[in-house]
Copies of this chain bind each other. A is one copy, B any other.
Amino acid sequence: MSLISKNEIKTIKSLSDKKYRDSCGLFAVEGEKMVDEALHSGFKVERIFRKEEIGEQAMSRISSFSTPSPVLAVIRKPDHIAISSYGMLDSILSGGGLFMALDKIRDPGNLGTIIRICDWFGVKALFASDDTVDVFNPKVVQATMGAIFRLRFHYTDIGELCKRVVSGNGRVYGTFLEGENIYSAGLDNGLESPSLVVIGNESEGISREIKGLVTDKINIPPYPDGESGSESLNAAVASAVTIAEFRRRLCT
């Protein structure tokens, strides 16, 4: 007797599709470490499938990877991933601190890596525009290395978020070629009010609407002499260097 039915295999395979994840409210994670982190998180683990129980063939059918993992868990998506009211937004920002917002990030690996960065550097919440890649995409989930189970993450209107940060006496930082050198820029506003770092799309950067709401334009200087053959840094790398510099100034 098999421990997984044909219908279950079909359902789990469908979880690689965003529409299906949305309609059933589930997503999948793979690997011992990820499943272990899920079990120790606030997320609800619905089912666990192990290769030694369901067989290698079934495992390779439900896995998103070319080399199937020994274990896969089906997990319920948490409520409130989408911000339901602006009051909720104000409440999240109210204690101040360091926040990050993504304006149309498209690459799953970048989103997953940025979640891992935010978790490492203690970012209080990560926000993403509705046209950012889905956070429950298998490539995103796996690239977080478990940080998805710890970091506060919400989809919301980034323009509205910026306005609320400013009306709460906070600052909105964005990286631009013409921005001020991040090492001499005044990041030291303190974290009693919110500091929000906005990261733009991989090829277009920060959108025009959001650019108008940025209070502090900053720039990671290339070497030597403020120029380099490269036009930009990868979005996750720019996130890391910026957040690390905030932490260096505000923690040490």
Which residues does A use to contact B, with CB under 8 Å? 109, 113, 116-117, 119-122, 143, 145-147, 150, 181, 183-184, 220-224, 228-234, 236-237, 240-241, 244-245, 247-248, 251-252
Contacts and interface: CB of A to CB of B under 8 A. Distances in A.
Contacts of A228: 119-122
A219 to B, nearest CB: 12
A151 B247 CA distance: 30
Question: By CB atoms of chain B within 10 A, which of A220, A221, A241 has the most?
Answer: A241
15 contacts: A109-B109, A116-B237, A119-B228, A119-B229, A119-B230, A120-B222, A120-B230, A122-B223, A122-B224, A146-B230, A147-B229, A150-B229, A150-B230, A223-B247, A234-B236
Contacts of A116: 230, 233-234, 237
| This chain: copies in complex | 2
A34 to B, nearest CB: 13
Nearest to A113: B234
Contacts of A232: 145
A55 to B, nearest CB: 27
A150 B227 CA distance: 13
Contacts of A248: 183, 245
Contacts of A117: 233-234, 237
Contacts of A121: 222-223, 228
Contacts of A251: 221, 223-224
Given A120-B230, A121-B222, A244 B247 contact: no
A120 B233 contact: yes
A109 B223 CA distance: 23
A176 to B, nearest CB: 16
A236 B233 contact: no
A195 to B, nearest CB: 13
Nearest to A118: B230
